[in-house]
Amino acid sequence: MAMPHDVPTAAQLIESVREWLEKDVLTSTTGRVQFHSRVAINVLAMVERELAVGEQQALDHAARLAVLGMKDDAELATAIRNGDLDDRFNEVVELVRASVLDKLAVANPSYAVPTLND
């Protein structure tokens, strides 16, 4: 899809700020300012990842919900709470697991690595 804005894109702007914080600010500060710089770097990295994969993740999540006949997470939660999907337990677990892995892929990809038990 063509974007109405010229370059740099939002993702490129965010990347530039994150890199500046990493290369210039973080290395020239200490204490509280350095800690807050690290937090800002992590937040910007999360935003970068969400911009990169968020739209596809939303489409994938909607498709997983549709397989269970749900339109959104609220409807899924209600169905789970009411026991409406008890006979589809494994499908629900897979949907929730995939959703959590998608969220981790944005929030902290190192936590989204599958374990040996998967």
Residues 26-43 have pLDDT tens digits of 999 999 999 999 999 999
Two structure tokens written together for 14: 């965010």
Phi, psi of 5 (to 5 degrees): -105, 150
Using 50, 70 and 90 to split pLDDT, how confident is the model at 3?
low
Residues 95-111 have pLDDT tens digits of 999 999 999 999 999 88
- What's the whole-number mean pLDDT along residues 45-50? 96
Return the pLDDT at 35. 98
**Are residues 66 and 91 in contact, defined by beta-carbon separation less than 8 angstroms?**
no
List the single range of 12-16, 44-48, 111-115 with lowest mean pLDDT.
111-115
